Amino acid sequence: MNGVQFDQHFYHFLDRMIREYGDYFYMLLVYASVPLIAWILSGGLRRRRHRIEPSGPPIIIVVLRQSAEPDLEPPPIIGRESAPRHGNQDDGFAT
């Protein structure tokens, strides 16, 4: 039996197995994929790094921010100042 005949027998075997048991293979792969995906998402494919022991005590950095004091006066209004009108006291309302 040469390589070509072996390939033909092997592919016929695979075709027959898929034809007869394909639905079982599919369900097996579906149920096997759930733990596989969970393992991958939990970091199963990452390489393990060797932890280097620290040579001294840990350094703690604390940043304290000082709050700015709020302005006591409101900002100036730019434009004309509102003053009471003299003369015509008509404020636009019909009487």
Would you list the DSSP string of the chain? --HHHHHHHHHHHHHHHHHHHHHHHHHHHHHHHHHHHHHHHTTTTSPPPPPPPPSSPPP-----PPPPPPPSSPPPPPSPPP----S----S---
pLDDT at 32: 94
Which residues of the chain are modeled with pLDDT < 70?
48-52, 54, 70-71, 79-95
Q: Let me know if residue 22 belongs to a domain.
A: yes
- Whether 51 is in a domain gets the answer no
pLDDT of residue 3: 79
**Domain-embedded: residue 1:** yes
Establish if 29 belongs to a structural domain. yes
Task: Report if residue 30 sits inside a domain.
Answer: yes
Residue 9 lies in domain = 1-44
Q: What is the pLDDT of residue 5?
A: 85
How many domains would you assign to the chain? 1
